[in-house]
A and B are shown apart, each in its own frame.
Chain A
Amino acid sequence: MGSRTPLYERHLAAGAKLVDFGGWDMPLHYGSQIEEHHQVRRDAGMFDVSHMTVVDVTGADARAWLQYLLANDVARLEAPGRALYSAMLNPAGGVLDDLIVYRLDDGYRLVVNAATRTKDLAWMRQQAADFTVTITERDDLAMLAIQGPRARDLCASVVSDSRAVLIDQLEPFHGLPDGQWFLARTGYTGEDGLEIMLPAAQAPALWQALLDAGCKPCGLGARDTLRLEAGLNLYGADIDEQTSPLAANMAWTIAWEPAQRDFIGRQALEAQRQAADQPKQVGLLLSERAVLRSGQAVIVDGIGEGQITSGSFSPTLGCSIALARVPRATAGSARVEIRGKSLPVRVIRPGFVRNGKQVFE
């Protein structure tokens, strides 16, 4: 039996098909993954993401330590409320995890992946030896992601007045506390929405209130196709310890300046940047009636080969899409071999759908 979130009973009551995800019993879907996907793009859906690991960092060296630990620079978080996406690298420049950092009044809050929890916490504690920091795992919190064009309105309608005001005023990619809750305008779907962290015991009541207000529960299946359409990396599929952020469309998350900031993996990344030999991440579009899948080879005529790192069917576009790592010189087309047939694919920048709409020409 896997770990269970505070909403486990709610999932059963809603008819969830449960799967193991990083040691957690999580809902894959509640009937139809595709309907849940559309629900988020068109209206509002809610995801139990309590399996994700929340870590608070406080202490005199909290900022200096995170500046050393992360490839992005927390000095960019000029005021409490701001958030930042970053890679946590190993010395070879491989991605140990990708995470979001929120600046709090008295420190920082990190949200890291569930499957990497043990490894991440051990790494963080090891790297903290020479710093005055306190690392606190917040396993007392549950987390709900409410996503979609109507998500913020729905949430505002079921919470206290002060929280409703905060939800209304919160800017994109910001997060602020209200009492024991932390409300952030972040997500993993390419839609507007919120991620709410709250004491575990209060999560079932919020879930029920949202359900009563018309918000539909959505599972990890829809979460995966939504993030794939949005061109967002999945740890363990598109990025891992052997992958450079430069090969995963994450160059924008590396804060090269100030040049004297020494972060873990910096030397390796600078050498890679000099050599300009890393593959690049692209998006693939298949018009044939087949589905691109992780692990399939991508053949770029006259240039070389790459590989699909995640692929699925795009419910919004009605065709198959994928993220792939291919040679840098890859241009607008390639081929993918599926069941013995060589099928042409269009190569675009990674990212297919945002805010309900197709984002490529």
Chain B
Amino acid sequence: MSDTPSELRYASSHEWTRQEADGTVTVGITNHAQDALGDVVFIELPEVGRQVNAGDECAVVESVKAASDIYAPVSGEIIATNDALGDAPELVNSDPYGAAWLFKIQPSDSGELDKLLDAEGYLATL
């Protein structure tokens, strides 16, 4: 697993995004973020159907160490959340870019994606 896959786009608040073929955007937290948080124990996910603006708090990841707010990287509607994390929050530690995606957004302004950082840009913020 790459620490910062080059095919993803990143927010400086440590979310990653992946634009899917159907135009939706999948969101998770970066390997750097999970490493800093330590063992994740609970995750609070947004309600499906909620409209979010880029930068809105929309989830919380609680680890043994701290509670961390997760922000919507782009505006749009929450169309799915990863219910598997309810029973297996530790996936965030073991597979942050895969099984531990948090939610999917149907973006209302695809131009916002261009404002996100590429891998190099994200690494430069760390």
**Which of A's residues lie within 8 Å of B, judged by CB?**
17, 28-29, 32-34, 221, 225, 289-291, 293, 312-313, 339
Select the stretch in B3-11, B34-42, B98-106 that faces chain A: B34-42
The interface residues of chain A lying within 8 Å CB-to-CB of B62 are 290-291, 313
**Which of B's residues lie within 8 Å of A, judged by CB?**
35, 38-39, 41-42, 44, 60, 62, 64-67, 90, 93
Known interface pairs A289-B42, A313-B64; 11 further A-B residue pairs with C-beta atoms within 8 A, sorted by A's residue number: A29-B38, A32-B93, A33-B64, A34-B39, A289-B44, A291-B42, A291-B67, A293-B66, A312-B64, A313-B62, A339-B67
CB–CB A221/B64 < 8 A:
yes
The interface residues of chain A lying within 8 Å CB-to-CB of B64 are 33-34, 221, 225, 312-313
CB–CB A293/B38 < 8 A:
no
The residue on B at minimum CB distance from A225 is: B64
B35, B41, B65, B67 pick with most chain A CB within 10 angstroms: B41
CB–CB B41/A313 < 8 A:
yes
The interface residues of chain A lying within 8 Å CB-to-CB of B60 are 339
Q: Complex formed: what's the CA distance from A289 to B87 in Å?
A: 11
The interface residues of chain B lying within 8 Å CB-to-CB of A291 are 41-42, 62, 67
Q: Complex formed: what's the CA distance from A312 to B62 in Å?
A: 10
The residue on A at minimum CB distance from B36 is: A17
Q: Complex formed: what's the CA distance from A313 to B35 in Å?
A: 17
* 5 pairs of A and B residues whose beta carbons are closest in the complex: A313-B41, A34-B39, A289-B42, A291-B62, A33-B39
Measured between C-beta atoms, what is the minimum distance from A176 to chain B in Å? 36
Measured between C-beta atoms, what is the minimum distance from B87 to chain A in Å? 11
Measured between C-beta atoms, what is the minimum distance from B114 to chain A in Å? 32
A293 and B67 contact, Cβ closer than 8 Å, known pairs A32-B93, A313-B62, A339-B60: yes
Measured between C-beta atoms, what is the minimum distance from A49 to chain B in Å? 20
Q: Complex formed: what's the CA distance from A17 to B64 in Å?
A: 15
Partner pick for B42 among A32, A221, A225, A290, CB 8 A cutoff: A290
The residue on A at minimum CB distance from B35 is: A17
CB–CB B38/A33 < 8 A:
yes
CB–CB B67/A32 < 8 A:
no
B35, B39, B42, B90 pick with most chain A CB within 10 angstroms: B39
The interface residues of chain A lying within 8 Å CB-to-CB of B65 are 221
The residue on B at minimum CB distance from A28 is: B38
CB–CB A221/B67 < 8 A:
no
The residue on B at minimum CB distance from A293 is: B67
Partner pick for B38 among A221, A289, A290, A339, CB 8 A cutoff: A221
Measured between C-beta atoms, what is the minimum distance from B108 to chain A in Å? 26
The interface residues of chain B lying within 8 Å CB-to-CB of A312 are 64
B35, B38, B44, B93 pick with most chain A CB within 10 angstroms: B38
| 25 residue pairs from A and B, CB less than 8 Å apart | A28-B38, A29-B38, A32-B39, A32-B90, A32-B93, A33-B64, A34-B41, A34-B64, A221-B38, A221-B64, A225-B64, A289-B42, A290-B44, A290-B62, A291-B42, A291-B62, A291-B67, A293-B66, A312-B64, A313-B41, A313-B42, A313-B62, A313-B64, A339-B60, A339-B67
The interface residues of chain A lying within 8 Å CB-to-CB of B44 are 289-290
The residue on B at minimum CB distance from A34 is: B39
The interface residues of chain B lying within 8 Å CB-to-CB of A313 are 41-42, 62, 64
Q: Complex formed: what's the CA distance from A29 to B39 in Å?
A: 10
Q: Complex formed: what's the CA distance from A33 to B65 in Å?
A: 10
The interface residues of chain B lying within 8 Å CB-to-CB of A289 are 42, 44
Q: Complex formed: what's the CA distance from A291 to B43 in Å?
A: 11
The residue on B at minimum CB distance from A338 is: B67
Q: Complex formed: what's the CA distance from A313 to B43 in Å?
A: 13
Measured between C-beta atoms, what is the minimum distance from B47 to chain A in Å? 15
Q: Complex formed: what's the CA distance from A49 to B65 in Å?
A: 20
The interface residues of chain A lying within 8 Å CB-to-CB of B42 are 289-291, 313
The interface residues of chain B lying within 8 Å CB-to-CB of A221 are 38, 64-65
The interface residues of chain A lying within 8 Å CB-to-CB of B93 are 32
Q: Complex formed: what's the CA distance from A312 to B42 in Å?
A: 12
Q: Complex formed: what's the CA distance from A29 to B37 in Å?
A: 12
Q: Complex formed: what's the CA distance from A19 to B54 in Å?
A: 33
Measured between C-beta atoms, what is the minimum distance from A83 to chain B in Å? 30
Measured between C-beta atoms, what is the minimum distance from B104 to chain A in Å? 21
